[in-house]
Structure 1
Amino acid sequence: MPSSLTPVLLVLPFVLLLGFLLYWAGARRSYLRRSPVVPGDASLLDWHFFVPCRDEEAVVGTTVTRLRTDFPAADVWVIDDDSEDRTGAVVASLAADDPRVHLVRRRRPDARTGKGAALNAAYDRLGAFLPEGTDRSKVVVCVMDADGQLDPRAPALVSGPGAFGDPETGAVQIGVRMRNVADRRPFPERGRLVNAAARALVRVQDMEFAVSNAGMQLLRNRTGSTGLGGNGQFTRLSALDRVGEAERRPWRRGALLEDYELGLHILLAGYRTTHVADTWVSQEALPSARRLLTQRTRWAQGNLQCVRYAPRIVSSRHIPGRGVLETLYTFVQPLAHLVTLALTVLVFGALAVGLVRGQGADEVVALLDHWPLILVLAAVSVAPFVLWGPVYRRDHAPDASFARSLVWGLALWLYAYHLFVVSARAFVRMLRGRNGWAKTRRNAEPVTAGPVALES
């Protein structure tokens, strides 16, 4: 290994680690010191749920029925994006008996062009449905996954003075939980070891959203750069109107991260976004590593696509300086993963070549001379993940032992390495011009041939 690489090897990890630690400390502090959310009067707003669907026969009936039961004053708009199963028939049957259930049918070639396009179709239908003279600032749209289940308290909590009770608030994101976290056999037909690994994967996804991502979002509340997710995303209709006027449509056609992109557009339009962690929407975690990696590759690629907004974010008069810094940090993450991965391959490749040629032993010895520094670096890298374990236990798994919570924290640390894989895959897909996508297969669906998460 060339000696010139040694300073890079020692300095760059510290730079990246410092940025991570500062962000983690801010997220943890924001999570632990958050104040209880003050609820508002949900009856002052008009509620509409958008449920985009593509081949969701297995789950959509339950989702719509639950929404109508828990929120009887709300309308449910199901967008059937040219499903090849009975999704449309299931929803049509429900709509025939309930005037507050609406089926928005889409057909190819207009259909299957992205979730954003499907949501735009529902936006158009809602606009035509509302009476003339409706105060659109009082209309709230909530985007739900086809398998989503919403906390019945959610409308009241997102109506409070810190959320839609403030007329400057254009969008609210709520917490996300994994409802199959207690499932002992995610794969009933498989063996004990496979199910143990699947349970661990489901658990760390719940930890990721319940504490780690929640802390990140609460930090963003402080910086003025709160992001939106694809499930449990509440948006004021007047904010969608303003984004549509500026961007031609509220949701961008074909975007792979249309939820986060919409949040950026709402901030650029001059509205405030916020996160409410005291309520939640639940969904099913993915017990399959393969499905998880394909899903997260799409998310990482969508993040990379949003980098093009950096100049607009920096020059915006609506986003404060700390919000600009946080957004740029978010943009940089996939790129930082790529740089770290490339540097790791380069360094270990150079060491291997040197050892084969009989010239690398001195470099290895010189590197090992720094073992105390390497040990500290490793410990500081692992500790932030482990420390989320007891916090998660306190708030979401009080029956678990403290020792188990530490094991969960270690699992969260190992799980975080998937980010390097998906960032690399996303970058390769972008280089190859592959921007299509298909939905992630639900756990209740049978396995089918062909792609289920990303198209060619």
Structure 2
Amino acid sequence: MFSNPFLLLFPFFLLLCFLLYWAGARHAYTRRPVAENGNPDAFEWHFFVPCRDEEAVVGTTVARLRADHPAAHVWVVDDDSEDRTGAIVAALADEDRRVHLVRRHRPHARQGKGAALNAAYDELNQFLSKDTDRERVVVCVIDADGQLAPDALARVSGPQGFGDPETGGVQVSVRMRNTGDPRPLGEDTGRLRNAFARLLVRMQDMEFSVSNAGMQLLRGRTGSVGLGGNGQFTRLASLDRIAAAERRPWQRGALLEDYELGLHMILSGDRISHIADTWVSQEGLPHGRRFLTQRTRWAQGNLQCVRYAPRIVSSRHYGGKGVLETLYTFLQPVAHLVTLALCAVMFVLLGLTAAEDGFGAAFGGMLALWPLVLGLAVLSIGPFILWGPVYRRDFAADRSLLTALLWGVALWLYAYHLFPASARGFVRMLRGRNGWAKTRRNAESVDSGPVAIEA
């Protein structure tokens, strides 16, 4: 039935790449050294909080940042909000000289998160004196619903972070803080839907806390750590170097402006590290549609970043391992698309064989290969299941081992969202649709505001 050896070998090649990457990520996570604290007083800290219609969360976020990190400045970018975001922040700024409101208005506003961050960068440049040591100034991007760990500045000031003068950026781990919410969709929603929503939030927490953290720690070994949109720390001097080469630190129109910034930072010669021993928390998405929309944007942004491949391959700042890891990351959505295409081809061929030779001829040969199928299933599902006990050990010690193993099975099923997300992202690229609205917060009414993706 399969005369082309590519159809047979390509899935095995993808599985081998996945297993090698998973083994490296798990080893990097479980064997990581504890991050040492540094002296946060050796640096000047500035938080950038981009906001668009964030009245539901921005007041709490700013108050928490000021309470936990009193020496830092908070720069809130109001990207022409249509709610009370600007008024709330303006009132806070009137009472606290370390809170700053950056107002943006259309037509210059609402051009993406990167443009909003560039506006904050420009305002910070005007605020700082000319004799400021910009190597000692650190910018941290926090989502409007983000909450940073109280020990985060001490951790990122240590030798694994900005205590090393070669470090230009640090990314901390991300956690979902609503994993304990028994009814994420509200009291008026049924138990079954709330149970699914709880599991969806738990999977996001598991994904970020252990799986993604392991990937980032592996990238620390290959020199290709990526920056995220929440809990992203950068030296101001590093942003200056990117701005000098690219006209601005964050690129406009990029759907993964955070990851793209990290690429530029490494290409300019700075090192990025990941610190898993501190965190920034955000709300996990309990709504399946919002979740898929968010992941479609990430997949499309990943596909957009493929254009950097020639620069990375030829860069003296990327070693061989870093090039391979980055290309592997770039090509993940492509691999998902190819896998979907191969599955479609397989089912078409099975249907044609069944129509011509009968059901037995079409499926009999496949049934005879059940030991191979079982072995492949174990190799495919096992790595996800093995993250379960690791997650339980570090973040859910009150749960049973059986629960942790079931979470691992759920993580395997959860990973299949990558296939429709990649397909949707690819279709949006083909149609030239690159505009996005913000993802609606859980505290916002479901009948108001944009829906996170343009139709």
The alignment's TM-score, normalised by the length of structure 1, stands at 0.98
Structure 1 partner of 2:51? 53
Shift, 1:369, TM fit: 1.9
Aligned partners of 2:242 and 2:265 also within 8 Å: yes
Q: Deviations over 1:236-266 (max 9, x none)?
A: 0000000001111000011100000000000
Matches within 5 A, 1:322-333: 322-333=321-332
SS in 1 for 2:454: coil
Aligned partners of 1:354 and 1:361 also within 8 Å: no
Q: Deviations over 1:259-303 (max 9, x none)?
A: 000000000000000000000000000001110000000000000
Aligned letter for 1:239? S
Structure 2 partner of 1:97? 95
Q: Whole-Å Cα distance in 2 between the matches of residues 141 and 85 of structure 1?
A: 27
Aligned letter for 1:327? T
Aligned partners of 1:175 and 1:281 also within 8 Å: yes
Aligned letter for 1:206? D
Shift, 1:417, TM fit: 0.2
Aligned letter for 2:255? L
The CA RMSD over aligned residues, in Å, is 1.1
Q: Whole-Å Cα distance in 2 between the matches of residues 180 and 373 of structure 1?
A: 41
Structure 1 partner of 2:143? 145
Matches within 5 A, 1:25-424: 25-188=23-186, 189-358=188-357, 361-424=360-423
Aligned partners of 1:3 and 1:363 also within 8 Å: no
SS in 2 for 1:278: strand
Runs of 4+ in 1 over 6 A off after TM superposition: none
Q: Whole-Å Cα distance in 1 between the matches of residues 424 and 25 of structure 2?
A: 27
Shift, 1:359, TM fit: 5.1
SS in 1 for 2:175: strand
Q: Whole-Å Cα distance in 2 between the matches of residues 83 and 361 of structure 1?
A: 62
Shift, 1:450, TM fit: 6.8
Shift, 1:60, TM fit: 0.1
Percentage identity across aligned positions?
A: 70
The alignment's TM-score, normalised by the length of structure 2, stands at 0.98
Question: Residues 268, 3 of structure 1: CA spacing in aligned structure 2 closer, same or farther, 3 A cutoff?
Answer: closer
Q: Whole-Å Cα distance in 1 between the matches of residues 124 and 358 of structure 2?
A: 70
Shift, 1:104, TM fit: 0.3
SS in 2 for 1:281: strand
Aligned partners of 2:354 and 2:362 also within 8 Å: no
Aligned letter for 1:265? H
Shift, 1:8, TM fit: 4.0
Name stretches of at least 5 consecutive residues in structure 2 with no aligned partner: none
Shift, 1:449, TM fit: 5.4
Q: Whole-Å Cα distance in 1 between the matches of residues 212 and 435 of structure 2?
A: 26
Q: Deviations over 1:322-358 (max 9, x none)?
A: 1111001101100000000110111012212332344
Q: Whole-Å Cα distance in 1 between the matches of residues 428 and 231 of structure 2?
A: 28
Deviates more, 1:19-28 or 1:350-359: 350-359
Shift, 1:63, TM fit: 0.2
Question: How many residues were matched structurally?
Answer: 454
Aligned letter for 2:214? G
Structure 1 partner of 2:18? 20
